Structure 1
Amino acid sequence: MLERKSTVSEMASAFRWQIPDLYNLGVDISDRPAERWPDRVAIVDVAETGDTRKITFSDLKCDSNRLAQGLQAVSKVGDRIAVFLPQSIETALCHIAICKSGCISLPLFCLFGPDALLHRLKDAGARVIVTDRQGLKKINQIRAELPALERVYCVDGEAPDALDFADLLVGSGADFKPAQTKADDPALLIYTSGTTGNPKGALHAHRVLLGHLPGVEMSHNFFPQPKDVIWTPADWAWIGGLLDVLMPALHHGVTVIACRFKKFTAKAAFDLMENHHVTSTFLPPTALKMMRADESIQKRTLSLRSVASGGEPLGAPLLEWGRKALGADINEFYGQTECNMIVSSCSELAPSEPGIMGFPVPGHVVDVLDEQTGVSLPIGAPGDIAVRAPDPVMFLRYWNNPEATQQKYRTVDGVQWLLTGDKGTKTESGRIAFLGRDDDVINSSGYRIGPAEIEDCLITHPSVVLAGVVAKPDPIRGSIVAAYVQLAAGVTRDESLAEEIKLHVKSRLAAYEAPRIIRFVDAMPTTTTGKIIRAELRKLAEAEAHAER
């Protein structure tokens, strides 16, 4: 755990990694807490009806041992076993048991369609998959194209095309011996969300959980605290749900609320947090924006002490709303599937700076490098956000993609750096400011413009719910700033509103940052994790520019 100090700098100076040679992620989050808190509730599984199921740490250890024993009978060390389930007790049991058995867990988002599933399952060569009846329908559509897939298990019982998951729960689990894995042995294969191309499989070692802990503890103001209960709407198939919430919480003996809504709504989120006395939560920016639009928050009695958010930068209005409405500061953090939780705010040590992600988390060396030379840049100079290797949170490699793995790193004066693909600057306070991805930065009339600050400003307009900003090709300026805006319900879209929104930005930011065009959209294109897909917006802008030639 992080040792509390008076400043982040002091914490970083005192921090030392303690990564054992032999380490199993599954054992760490079930057996170890079961020894300390056997009767403590590990997971509360909440159905949309409100009905609940609970499992203690003692039972989590026992049932995961039984499941691991069953998996060992139908697989071998290193096999990829897919988990195609929503947040649930069974999902957690699967990930734990797969790690205990020495296999590699492949999390799959429950809303994936057949094409998304086919790419991941085929690329990974998954031999076994655990799903439910809903997921089984999708698997059956592509099963003929998956020659490596040998067994499909259904948690809802035996089906014509699947085996009964209960058959995997072998014996009592008392005599099961987990695989003797090293910290650097592979444990998880998590595919990226595909914002910059086809999703790539990031292979992570068992140590990845230990690498996440400082960032999780920092983003939740020294997590855990007594009586903490944590929840996130982020699916456990993504690194944000799995390694920012579920696994760190179990490691620390904190109760996790499992509940995946068929459709996220602000009301459902508020109801869940209020009814189950959630104290800590990871809420993606899109979820926060939807919740801000719900006026029922004024009548809620929440127990929140910490709110973390990451995926897109947050602006001052959203941070201020969170402080007043949620009763807790929102701590921004930063990372990606390949190297997560490396930058974070911690409001207990320093107030958040709007539009600034946070400090490098103790244990991680994060810098901004010159794109051409690779040298460390001075404060305020924009460059490539990079993380020094090796690092416990860093992925091992991309699955079946050595070329992409090689391109992810650069070596400068004998030091290897992982390139995040994002642009940023260092600030006077020691923080890292996010400017955008390489292909998000807008070059207009000699200015390099990041979209995040403009998007933050746009959503402060009362008519705007979501906004995405991209470059539109322009024969004179090279590019101009184009804003795609989703309006609040009941707002009439017209040219006068577009001009009003332009002026709103121009009067608050620099004139060169103000959008030259505003386009209204019915729905903002987002990934399944809630990030705006600017690539889709760029296609619209480029098509419009092409039509104007």
Structure 2
Amino acid sequence: MAPGDGGDYERLRREFRWDIPERFNIAEAICDRWAALDPARPAILTKRPGAPLQTTTFGELRAASQALAAGLKASGVVSGDRVAILLPQGVEAMVAHVAVSRLAAVAMPLALAFGPDAIFYRLADSGAAGIVTNAAGLAKLSEIAEPLPELRIVVSTDGAAEGALDYGAIVKAGGEVPPARTTPDDPALMIYTSGTTGAPKGALHGGRVLLGHVPGFRYTHDGFPAEGDLGWTPADWAWAGGLLNLAMPCLFDGVAVVAQPATKFDPEAAFALIEEAGIRNAFIPPTAMRLMAQVADPRGRWPGMRLRTLVSAGERLVEASFDWSREAFGVQVNEVYGQTECNYVLASALSHGVSRAGFTGKPVPGHEVALFDAEGRAVPPGTPGEIRVRRPDPVMFLEYWNMPEATAEKFDGEWLVTGDQAVMDEDGYFRFLGRDDDVITSSGYRIGPSDVEDCLAKHPAVALSAVVGKPDEMRTEIIKAFVQLKPGVKRSEKLAKELSRFVRERLSAHEYPREVEFVDALPLTTTGKIIRRQLRERG
């Protein structure tokens, strides 16, 4: 897509056409073609504490991934096998993705933040044949008592380990494995849903999922790729957001990615990294943005920052983040909506004339999105409805792994059903309300938790908040807010009442929290999403 002139959205929508080739392999798309053109071209810049940035070129990425692919193949990995990647951001993680793709196997990224039970569930459910991990991952695997008979191959990136192949030795041995001749619909990637509403499900994608993300990525990162562009995200590459919202689209366009193999997000370190590395294009999830917003005077402390584009997704972005992004970086954030099963389908794009505080945006060119009621009828502007996406769509998943009934339930005719509620205004902007089971019914009103959380975020005492419905005989449900206060702010009944009044005065008499409970921390998934189910269970 060409960069917009500030108001070319309708033209882009009208003229857009998908160009999906008959043959497509992720390894060739994000590695080999660039290595062939310019092997010295930077691909990954790794930042470790106290050390300068270390560059890995596309040529080095190709050589290492060919060697790992040769090692995996010699160990018995074949087309269609699931291979788990339990690693932090870094060269080894991307080498593993490219290597697995070379073999037409299925890459299955897992978050290092997972505990042994979560890892076991995903390995067992997927029937993974292999796993590439580090010492921390090996330690968690050692805590799993249940057998994993299908897990035949373990590769350690931290040197030799009992029962594991040595990644370093494999790469040193070398090898040549060209990308398999796969089609865009051949299974290539399986990402488990975050499990906010039940047991995680393995969303199986074809290689075309990357082709589906690239146009939206360019659309939201104005004119990408531009001279000097450099991508970064604090999001784990095990999450669709970190992997498909930034890392792989950058590499697809030959733009280097900054990797920071850290397990805990540090907002001050994030600002420092943006300045030191010269990051130009960032994907920062809403939770991370809210934490960064608590850092005082970022432009004064890190005056060398030169961010060009900023995108956020994962949860609804609070309105305050729009103003904050301009103050902190000098650029306005673009919000994106999607799911693991079907991502990057709604978005803001300021440079294309699509941006409105409090609204996610409009359908990304190439995707058809609409709102429907419970009976499957399209709803008019101003009426809440479920977000649905028309198929076929390149970003849409193939199926849930070994769950045909759940796959069938995800579709209603030609539409993928998301289970997410939104409302569209007369201008076609979508405002996210929440998941079906998160929307609160109180005294006949349907209330999206994000609206209340957005309002609470504007109070100077609030760091983070989560809102749920609590059963009530009179009103069906009342709004209850769980609030994490900023450092140094003391809890009190007076403050709880002040927060309730703060929301009531700014929203309405039916949208304020009748109960406020202060918490040390909110329960979050590894992708930073609030697990409201756990809060509802607390009552």
Q: TM-score, normalised by structure 1?
A: 0.95
Kept after mapping to 2: 8 A contact 1:334/1:344: yes
Which whole-Å CA distance do the structure 1 matches of 2:297 and 2:127 have between them?
Answer: 47
Which whole-Å CA distance do the structure 1 matches of 2:88 and 2:373 have between them?
Answer: 42
Residue 544 of structure 1 corresponds to: none
Residue 223 of structure 1 corresponds to: 224
Residue 65 of structure 1: how far off its partner (Å): 2.0
Kept after mapping to 2: 8 A contact 1:466/1:486: yes
Structure 1 residue corresponding to 2:439, chosen from 418, 438, 441 = 441
Does residue 389 of the first structure (1) align with residue 380 of the second (2)? no
Structure 1 residue corresponding to 2:536, chosen from 517, 538, 544 = 538
Equivalent positions of 1:130-529 (< 5 A) are 130-142=132-144, 145-169=147-171, 173=175, 176-297=177-298, 298-301=300-303, 302-350=305-353, 352-372=355-375, 374-411=376-413, 416-529=414-527
Which whole-Å CA distance do the structure 2 matches of 1:351 and 1:390 have between them?
Answer: 25
Change in 2 beyond 3 A, CA 1:485/1:45: same
Kept after mapping to 2: 8 A contact 1:69/1:170: no
Residue 314 of structure 1: how far off its partner (Å): 1.8
Kept after mapping to 2: 8 A contact 1:132/1:155: yes
Between the aligned residues of both structures, percent identity stands at 48
Letter in 2 for 1:158: A
Letter in 1 for 2:505: S
Letter in 1 for 2:44: I
Residue 249 of structure 1: how far off its partner (Å): 0.5
Letter in 2 for 1:213: V
Change in 2 beyond 3 A, CA 1:134/1:292: same
Give structure 2 stretches of 5+ with no counterpart. Answer: none
Residue 127 of structure 1: how far off its partner (Å): 1.1
Which whole-Å CA distance do the structure 2 matches of 1:511 and 1:112 have between them?
Answer: 41
Which whole-Å CA distance do the structure 1 matches of 2:2 and 2:132 have between them?
Answer: 36
User: Structure 1, residues 144-173: CA drift from partner, whole Å, max 9, x if none?
Assistant: 521111121111111123121134337654
User: Structure 1, residues 399-444: CA drift from partner, whole Å, max 9, x if none?
Assistant: 0111111110101xxxx11011101122222221111100011111
Change in 2 beyond 3 A, CA 1:163/1:65: closer
Residue 375 of structure 1: how far off its partner (Å): 2.3
Which whole-Å CA distance do the structure 2 matches of 1:126 and 1:220 have between them?
Answer: 35
**Mean alpha-carbon deviation: is it higher for 483-492 or for 385-394?**
483-492
Residue 126 of structure 1 corresponds to: 128
Which whole-Å CA distance do the structure 2 matches of 1:507 and 1:439 have between them?
Answer: 26
Kept after mapping to 1: 8 A contact 2:9/2:354: no
Which whole-Å CA distance do the structure 1 matches of 2:266 and 2:60 have between them?
Answer: 32
Q: 3-state SS of the aligned residue for 1:515?
A: coil
User: Structure 1, residues 167-223: CA drift from partner, whole Å, max 9, x if none?
Assistant: 4337654x5332110110000111111101111000010110000112211222232
Residue 35 of structure 1: how far off its partner (Å): 3.0
Residue 52 of structure 1: how far off its partner (Å): 3.4
Change in 2 beyond 3 A, CA 1:212/1:2: farther
Kept after mapping to 2: 8 A contact 1:143/1:149: no
Q: TM-score, normalised by structure 2?
A: 0.97
Kept after mapping to 1: 8 A contact 2:13/2:366: yes
Which whole-Å CA distance do the structure 2 matches of 1:178 and 1:458 have between them?
Answer: 50
Q: 3-state SS of the aligned residue for 2:377?
A: coil
Change in 2 beyond 3 A, CA 1:39/1:214: same
Residue 83 of structure 2 corresponds to: 81
Kept after mapping to 2: 8 A contact 1:233/1:260: no
Kept after mapping to 2: 8 A contact 1:37/1:253: no
Which whole-Å CA distance do the structure 2 matches of 1:161 and 1:268 have between them?
Answer: 36
Say how many residue pairs are matched.
535
Letter in 2 for 1:293: Q
User: Structure 1, residues 327-347: CA drift from partner, whole Å, max 9, x if none?
Assistant: 110100000100011111011
Letter in 2 for 1:90: E
The CA RMSD measured in Å over matched residues stands at: 1.5
Residue 3 of structure 1: how far off its partner (Å): 6.4
Give structure 1 stretches of 5+ with no counterpart. Answer: 542-549
Residue 143 of structure 1: how far off its partner (Å): 6.5
Residue 296 of structure 1: how far off its partner (Å): 4.4
**Mean alpha-carbon deviation: is it higher for 11-20 or for 152-161?**
152-161
Residue 547 of structure 1 corresponds to: none
Which whole-Å CA distance do the structure 2 matches of 1:101 and 1:24 have between them?
Answer: 10
Residue 261 of structure 1: how far off its partner (Å): 2.2
**Mean alpha-carbon deviation: is it higher for 494-503 or for 332-341?**
494-503
Kept after mapping to 1: 8 A contact 2:88/2:263: no
Kept after mapping to 1: 8 A contact 2:53/2:277: no
Q: 3-state SS of the aligned residue for 2:143?
A: helix
User: Structure 1, residues 20-45: CA drift from partner, whole Å, max 9, x if none?
Assistant: 11111111000122233332111011
Residue 60 of structure 1 corresponds to: 61
Change in 2 beyond 3 A, CA 1:238/1:329: same
Q: 3-state SS of the aligned residue for 2:254?
A: coil
Letter in 2 for 1:527: T
Q: 3-state SS of the aligned residue for 1:497?
A: helix
Q: 3-state SS of the aligned residue for 1:295?
A: coil
Residue 90 of structure 1 corresponds to: 92
Residue 447 of structure 1: how far off its partner (Å): 0.6
Change in 2 beyond 3 A, CA 1:215/1:486: same
User: Structure 1, residues 261-280: CA drift from partner, whole Å, max 9, x if none?
Assistant: 23211111111111000011
Which whole-Å CA distance do the structure 2 matches of 1:143 and 1:256 have between them?
Answer: 37
Kept after mapping to 1: 8 A contact 2:241/2:314: no
Which whole-Å CA distance do the structure 1 matches of 2:50 and 2:149 have between them?
Answer: 38
Which whole-Å CA distance do the structure 2 matches of 1:400 and 1:48 have between them?
Answer: 42
Residue 13 of structure 2 corresponds to: 12
Q: 3-state SS of the aligned residue for 2:488?
A: coil
Residue 233 of structure 1: how far off its partner (Å): 0.6
Which whole-Å CA distance do the structure 1 matches of 2:262 and 2:63 have between them?
Answer: 28
